[in-house]
Chains A and B, each alone.
Chain A
Amino acid sequence: MTRRSAPTRRGGVYLAVAGTVTFVTLIGVAGIAWWARADDRVSLVDDQRQAAMLARAGVELGIERIASDENWRKIFADGGWADATTFNAGSISLTLTDEADGRLEDDLNDNAKLRARSKLGRAARSLEVELEPRPVAINALSTGIWAAGVLSIDNSVSVVADLPIYAADHLTAEDYYVGSDLQSSASVTTERGARSETVVGPDFYTQPDWDSFKEAIKTIGTEIPRSAFGSHIQNAVLSSASNPFGTPDPDGIYWISGSGPNDAFSLRNVRIVGTLIVFDADVRAEWWQLWEQTDNGWPVLVCEKKLTLSPGGIPLIELLAGFNANPIGTPYNGEEDNANDDTHPTRITGLVVGLDDITISGGLDMRGTIIAQNDVDITWAAIYIRDEPSTRENPPVGFRAETSQMRLVEGSWRWMAD
């Protein structure tokens, strides 16, 4: 019995020790493996985080490349962007696609999709944005008055403008005082001289694309029925919050369709914060006017027929006029109220477009540009025209120059599956 039990006891000790050692070793190895895996996961997450930053940096670089080379469409199409860029221990590659027709280089007006792919370690990310041609104003919007026909300044006129006054045809100034640069593509004639007189080439200014503009203005805004008023619109505020003739247009854009060649009406004491478009009627703006273009870029006033700008040049005293020009929702200089206790200047800020002749008389404080498709006649008037760069920031259709410059389409950032 003792001989049989002795080997069993000895083997049992070894087995117990070996078993314990194996068990502890297994637990240790499993722990190490688990921590190694966890560490690996942390590294991968870190790589993915940095790869996302790289992709974002790639989009920035792509936009910079586009801005720095006006031939970017052709260069990319020819494989000029094929090499990956290294950054921060990773790599970035860029692609551009034209989803409209697949041909990036054929049209400056096509949008482009820019995709930045990044790789860092085992992580890869892909970020895409859409780019659209950046609206750049034609240089006609860098003038104070631009006439496609003749421009005449009568002898009782004082004109002070920090932007040139231009006529494609003859420009004549029987002036009292002209403190501005006069330009024409035909001839400039002055009685007393001006700040400068220049004959420029016919292509010096880019013509507006009248057809595109006329098509575009047919599709926007809310109608004010011609039957809603008689021979004048008086004491009215037109804005995205105010329309005395109906429901306010959310963009503050209104249009009136006149009844034909003999139709005409006046605007008297009118405040526009947005756009008023008048088809088929002559318009005369008189008394007090305070017009402000909004950042959607549409002109503050468009008149298809003859336009006369004849504001009185005196401020509006609400109490005397019995009219509140800054009601709730349409503040002026940040102030809005329900009372007739303010005084407002007469001023036009923005772009005024006449698709026929324009006559200017009276006291006009203009911050922007007057564009006429025909002639401009400045009669008895004291006119101040100042530059307003914001009118060129988002030029309307028809007033945009061809450009290779692009801008981001808002809300187009997308993380893509790679």
Chain B
Amino acid sequence: MRSMRCMSRRGLTMMEVVISTLLVGLTLTGAMQAVSGSAERRERAGDRAVGAALADEIIAVAAFLPFSDPEGQTLDPIAAGTVEDGAAAWGAFDDIDDWSGWSASPPEGSSGTPRAAYRGWTRSVQVDFVDPASPDTVSRTPTRVKRLTVTISRQGVVRAQASMLRTAAFSEGSP
């Protein structure tokens, strides 16, 4: 009898096992959720960084382009999906509205070569005339300010966006 009591004391009671299992289970669940959430956040942050880099690439190139075509086409209403010069690759674009309606999936290099590393990504560009006093407001009639917006999406979800303005005066006044 004495030895049996000693043996039962050395083991765990049902209550101890239940509580311990519950605690460990809860902790593991929380930890798993945290790990999963962190991984998701890490992936989202990574996507944002990739998206920002893809958007900035276009902005950096467009920043050097004039407001209107150097060969004389000026203030044409911007038609979506048209490229004034018929240039196939964005490296040959020579003014801001050449980007209007442009889209590529996966994103292309400046010579038009698709970048396989970005499969599943889409880079699209929109150019609009905007109100000079309120550049968030799109104008249906030509103004002296154009807004170029680059949208980067992955699997249909927008990951990054970047916008720039180009004004007629800026192109006229650059030394």
Interface residues, chain A, CB within 8 Å of chain B?
Answer: 2, 5-6, 9-10, 13-14, 17-18, 20-21, 24-25, 27-29, 31-32, 35-36, 38-39, 42, 46, 49-50, 53, 56-57, 59-61, 63-68, 85-88, 131, 134, 405-410
If A6-B9, A85-B133, A86-B136 touch, does A407 touch B175 (CB 8 Å cutoff)?
Answer: yes
Bound complex: CA A348 to CA B59 (Å): 43
Is B145 part of the contact surface with A, judged by Cβ < 8 Å?
yes
In the bound complex, do residue B12 and residue A13 qualify as a contact, i.e. CB atoms below 8 Å apart? yes
Contacts A28-B34, A57-B165, A61-B135 given: A42-B48 contact, CB under 8 Å? Answer: yes
Chain B residues whose C-beta falls within 8 Å of the C-beta of A131 in the assembled complex: 173
Q: Does B141 sit within 8 A of A, measured CB to CB? A: no
Beyond A35-B41, A39-B41, A61-B165, 11 additional contacts (C-beta under 8 Å) are A28-B31, A42-B49, A49-B162, A50-B162, A57-B163, A60-B169, A63-B170, A68-B132, A87-B135, A407-B174, A408-B173
**Which B residues lie within 8 Å of A36 (CB)?**
41
- Report A-chain residues with C-beta under 8 Å of the C-beta of B56: 49
Bound Cα distance A49, B28 (Å): 38
Asked whether, in the complex, the Cβ of B136 is within 8 Å of the Cβ of A87, the reply is: yes
Given A28-B31, A32-B37, A35-B42, CB of A408 within 8 Å of CB of B174: yes
Across the interface, name the chain B residue whose C-beta is closest to A54.
B163
Query: What is the interface of chain B, defined by CB distance below 8 A to chain A?
Result: 2, 5-6, 9-10, 12-13, 16, 19-20, 23-24, 26-28, 30-31, 34-35, 37-38, 41-42, 45, 48-49, 52, 56, 59, 63, 132-136, 144-145, 162-170, 172-175
Q: A31-B35, A85-B133 are in contact. Are A20 and B169 (CB under 8 A)?
A: no
Question: Which residues of B have CB within 8 Å of A65?
Answer: 132
State the Cβ distance, A8 to closest chain B Cβ, in Å. 10
Across the interface, A67 reaches (CB within 8 A) one of B12, B134, B173, namely B173
**Which residues on the B side are within 8 Å of A87 (C-beta)?**
135-136, 163, 165
CB–CB A49/B164 < 8 A: no
Task: Check B164 against A53 for contact (C-beta < 8 Å).
Answer: yes
11 cross-chain CB contacts under 8 A? A9-B10, A28-B35, A32-B37, A35-B38, A38-B42, A39-B45, A53-B59, A57-B163, A67-B172, A407-B175, A409-B175
By Cβ-Cβ distance, the 3 closest A-B pairs, closest first, are A67-B169, A64-B167, A57-B165
Shortest Cβ distance from B27 into chain A, in angstroms? Answer: 5
Q: How far is the CA of A35 from the CA of B43 in the complex (A)?
A: 11
Chain B min CB distance to A361 (Å): 39
Identity of the chain B residue whose Cβ is nearest the Cβ of A134 in the assembled complex: B173
Which chain A residues border B132 with CB–CB below 8 Å?
61, 64-65, 68
Question: B24 touching A85 by the CB < 8 A rule?
Answer: no
Distance in Å: Cβ of A350 to nearest Cβ of chain B: 20
Q: Separation in Å of the A125 CB from the closest CB of chain B?
A: 14
| Known pairs A57-B135, A67-B168, A85-B133; A32 contacts B38 (CB<8 A) | yes
Q: Specify which chain A residues have a CB less than 8 angstroms from the CB of B31 in the assembled complex.
A: 24-25, 27-28
Q: Given the complex of chains A and B, what is the CA–CA distance between A350 and B132 in angstroms?
A: 38
Tell me the nearest residue of chain A to B165, going by C-beta: A57
In the complex, chain B residues whose CB is within 8 Å of the CB of A63: 167, 169-170, 173
Question: Do A24 and B175 have beta carbons less than 8 Å apart?
Answer: no
Q: How far is the CA of A68 from the CA of B132 in the complex (A)?
A: 10
Write the nearest CB–CB distance from B16 to chain A, whole angstroms: 6
Contact in complex: A64, B168 (CB < 8 Å): yes
From A18, A31, A406, B34 is in contact (CB under 8 Å) with A31
Establish whether residues B24 and A20, one from each chain, have CB atoms under 8 Å apart when the complex forms: yes
Q: Looking across the interface, which residue of chain B has its beta carbon closest to that of A14?
A: B16
Q: Which residue of B lies closest to A41 (CB)?
A: B45
Q: Please, which residues of chain A bring their CB within 8 A of the CB of B24? A: 17, 20-21
User: How far is it, in angstroms, between the C-alpha of A299 and the C-alpha of B45 when the chains are bound?
Assistant: 59
Is B16 touching A38 in the complex (CB atoms < 8 A)? no
Assembly CA distance A35 to B46 (angstroms): 13
Verify A17–B20 contact, CB threshold 8 A: yes
Knowing A49-B56, A87-B136, say if A38 contacts B27 (CB, 8 Å). Answer: no
- Complex Cα distance A221/B173, Å? 28
CB distance from B86 to the nearest CB of A (A): 28
- In-complex Cβ contact of A68 among B6, B144, B162 (8 A): B144
**For B10, what are the chain A residues with a Cβ–Cβ distance below 8 Å?**
9
Residue of A nearest to B136 (CB): A87
Enumerate chain A residues within 8 angstroms of B169, measured Cβ to Cβ: 60, 63-64, 66-68
* Assembly CA distance A67 to B167 (angstroms): 10
Chain A residue contacts of B166, Cβ below 8 A: 60
Q: Are B173 and A407 in contact (CB under 8 A)?
A: yes
Contacts of A24 in B (CB 8 A): 27-28, 31
Q: Which residues of B contact A6 (CB under 8 A)?
A: 9
Inter-chain contact A38/B45, CB cutoff 8 Å: yes
Roughly how many angstroms separate A32 CA and B45 CA in the complex, as a whole number?
14
Residue of A nearest to B32 (CB): A28
Q: How far is A86 from B163 in the complex, measured between Cα atoms in Å? A: 13
- Measured between C-beta atoms, what is the minimum distance from A408 to chain B in Å? 6
Q: How far is the CB of A6 from chain B (nearest CB, A)?
A: 5
CB closest residue in chain B, given A1: B6
Of A61, A65, A66, the most chain B CB neighbours within 10 A belong to A61
A25:B45 contact, CB within 8 angstroms:
no
A39 to B175 Cα, complex, angstroms: 41
A3's nearest neighbour on chain B, judged by CB, is B9
Instruction: Give chain B residues whose Cβ lies under 8 Å from the Cβ of A67.
Output: 144, 167-169, 172-173
CA distance in complex: A405, B174 (Å): 12
